[in-house]
Amino acid sequence: MNWTLYNFEDTLVDCDTGKKYQIKSSEILSTGKFPVIDQGQRFIAGYSNDETKLFKPKQGTVIFGDHTRIFKFVDFPFVIGADGTKVFYPNTDLFDPKFFFYYCLFLDIPSKGYNRHYTLLREKMIPKPSIAEQQNISHILSLIQAAIQKQKQIINITRELKNSLMKKLFTKGINNEPLKETEIGIIPESWEVVKLGDVADVLSGGTPSRTQPTYWKNGTIPWVKTGEINYSQITYTEEKITELGYNNSSARLCKKGTLLMAMYGQGVTRGRVATLGIDATINQACAAIIP
């Protein structure tokens, strides 16, 4: 392959997106005229009605979350979420914007926690095939991405069906018996209401000091954050701590099979549950529930 390598910053052209197009998180609306794109997990963070904040990209634009390491591709007018949302114009003389975006997704950018990561991104190299080859590659990946979106839609519909069925089963049971009113709502007459603490141990963990590199560097003990609790079985954690970090913090080691609940977090994170598929430590925002 006769591909040329470019330093990341040499692949970009000027993109005037100063603070005039940014809004604070507190100003984001649940509904509105213009979508707000920020560095968060959700593609669209919310909406704004302030037309003076509307950024109209001249070409396909790549968004990078300086704190989150999340990439997004945007090709429509939007309002920029403040703090950590970086907007890039790839040089179209060198790169097809969609190819550039997909290659950014492929880059390995190590986590520095909630610190900024652009210093790591700017050190990366981007290969340049011919524009025709770039377009063919991005077309193939776009087809796969569309298939993934369809699968996600099916999963979401199935999840809604499951939630509806759970509501029926957990309030009416399956034996068609008389119901009674309790402090947690209507339940079958033969059911009892008990406190979680009476039938299970509820424990929390902790975070080793981020100022001590020896607590984190080359860590081998999985460490769960609330963002990784997502109605599934956890078999991998983004970060790991060392034995020294474990011994000098309140991080708690939980056994495989433990039920976890996210006790804090932005948006819909709080209240999510998952089970551990591995032995792992948890941070202070996670509750381990052991019947």
**How confident is residue 102, by pLDDT bands cut at 50, 70 and 90?**
very high
H helix or E strand, kind and range, residue 246? helix 243-247
For residue 83, what pLDDT is reported? 80
Q: CA–CA separation, 81 vs 35, rounded Å?
A: 10
- Kindly report the pTM of this predicted structure: 0.61
Per-residue pLDDT reduced to its tens digit, 35-64 = 999 998 889 999 999 999 999 998 999 999
Per-residue pLDDT reduced to its tens digit, 183-238 = 999 999 999 999 999 999 999 999 999 999 999 999 999 999 988 998 889 999 98
- CB contact burial 255-289 (16+ within 10 A = b; e otherwise): eeebbbbbbebeeebeebebebeeebbbbbbbbbb
Query: For the chain, how big is the Rg over CA atoms in Å?
Result: 23
Query: Which amino acid, 65?
Result: G
The chain-wide mean pLDDT, for the chain, equals 92
Burial class (CB in 10 A: 0-12, 13-18, 19+), 172: middle
Say if residues 122 and 9 touch (Cβ distance below 8 Å).
yes
Say if residues 156 and 141 touch (Cβ distance below 8 Å).
no
Say if residues 202 and 220 touch (Cβ distance below 8 Å).
no
Q: Within 10 A of 170 (CB to CB), how many other CB atoms are there?
A: 13
